[in-house]
Structure 1
Amino acid sequence: MTWIDISQPMNDRIATWPEDTPFSYHRSVTIEESGSVNIGDITMSVHTGTHIDAPFHFDNQGRKVLDLDVDVYIGRAKVVDCRGYTAIGEEVFDGVDLAGVGRVLFKTGASPDPSDFPEEAPFLKPELAGFLRKKNIRLAGVDVPSVDPMDSETLEAHHALFSCGVHILENAALAEVEPGTYELCALPLALEDADGSPVRAVLKPVDE
């Protein structure tokens, strides 16, 4: 089986949070100018497209991206079908075997178009964090821009998840991914002082 790319493509059409820096790629040097190479530069919010959050995103005393354990972002993951749910709790795991799985990706189906920023989206209930900790889940991923309600200012799910040792992946492109077990690789960049990082997230199906 080949790897499945679940990353949103980065281009000038990709949606961002209303107050965030939009994505832009600019070719600052051309082969014609340099005689040998093209060189580009980018500007963007670190929360553009498929990305991870670090605790520093919502806590001035929280860990930054380079402080996070990269092992969290590589390993066995379960994609769980949550389509039709507005608030996602442990009930979505009825009949789902999480044995040997350290990561969960919630497929809500609510945000299939990366150029369209949703005003509302499904979210994780804060109390779900305790359930995930009991199941030894270290990462929770969603296919929408936030694990919290889009208008939340308290970010209760963010706080609850990290307090339970559960890291956060947002804006994964899961529209074409079937529920099941996969190997996940979604490594953040080695950004020393950052509150988040874009990732190139990929899944590989695992025979169950």
Structure 2
Amino acid sequence: MPNTPDTALQLWDISPPVYVGMPVFPGDTPYQQEWVATIGPGCPVNVASITSTPHAGAHADAPLHYAPDGATIGHVDLAPYLGRCRVIHAINCGALIEWRHLEHAISNDLPERVLVRTYQQMPQTQWDAALAGYAADTVERLAARGVRLIGIDTASIDPADSKALPSHQTIRRHDMRVLENLVLDAVPEGDYELIALPLKLVQADASPVRAVLRALPGAYNHRNS
């Protein structure tokens, strides 16, 4: 299903589909679904049971994901997940998003939320072991400019084979929030309202989100990017 704007509501759905067989980070629990009740004689409803990593699809990592004493996703402040954001294109940037890939869109009015597109077309049906992540220095420089949340269209803000997770540790030090697995294929560079609230999972290290962008009248926007 293509992620295109709803012209009536001016919404961009930036969440990939969640389904049985979808790609997940190697070692994570695949999404599975079973029907525990189905409509029929004596049963008026369908009821499903699901088993899944909380990192399936578009998701928000909690500090607990990368810090043993970090907060669970159900206890983090929701404010970073709602508000003005800037989408920046760094398509085919390589293994790491470096500052030079973003500086064309950095300005004094940079919002507190930055989402970066690295794919020409996000692979929604297969795992990408060569996914792009953020360079830790890039995260440091965004934090210095007041950014509270960073997002990306890959499964991780660090390379898939990273063990030190320098970008995750940088957001831990700055108490920043992160969104991963966003679908930004159809979103021009520019400013939008982000709405991507995590579930109140009070014991979990992450939560799926239904991430959407809403157009802002008169906002910075490069339609031809």
Distance 2:111 2:42 in 1: 50
Does the CA-based 8 Å contact 2:120-2:185 persist in structure 1? no
1:42-57 equivalences in 2 (<5 Å) = 42-57=50-65
Flag the 1:144–1:55 CA change in 2: closer, same or farther, 3 A: same
User: Alignment length, in residue pairs?
Assistant: 208
Flag the 1:80–1:27 CA change in 2: closer, same or farther, 3 A: same
Flag the 1:111–1:95 CA change in 2: closer, same or farther, 3 A: closer
Q: Identify unmatched segments of 5+ residues in structure 2.
A: 1-8, 220-225
Question: How far does the alpha carbon of each residue in 1:44-75 deviate from its partner, in whole angstroms, 9 at most, with x for none?
Answer: 00111110111111211111112211011000
| CA-based RMSD | 1.5
Give the superposition deviation at 1:116: 0.6
Distance 1:98 1:47 in 2: 33
Task: State whether structure 2 residue 185 is matched by structure 1 residue 169.
Answer: no
Residue number among 53, 62, 70 corresponding to 2:70 in the alignment:
62
1:50-199 equivalences in 2 (<5 Å) = 50-86=58-94, 87-96=96-105, 97=107, 99=109, 101-109=111-119, 112-199=122-209
Residue number among 19, 40, 53 corresponding to 1:11 in the alignment:
19
Does the CA-based 8 Å contact 1:51-1:197 persist in structure 2? yes
Q: What is the TM-score of this pair, normalised by structure 1? A: 0.94
Does the CA-based 8 Å contact 1:76-1:100 persist in structure 2? no
- Runs of 4+ with >6 A deviation: none
The aligned residue for residue 41 of structure 1 is: 49
Give the superposition deviation at 1:94: 2.2
Q: What is the TM-score of this pair, normalised by structure 2? A: 0.88
Distance 2:75 2:137 in 1: 26
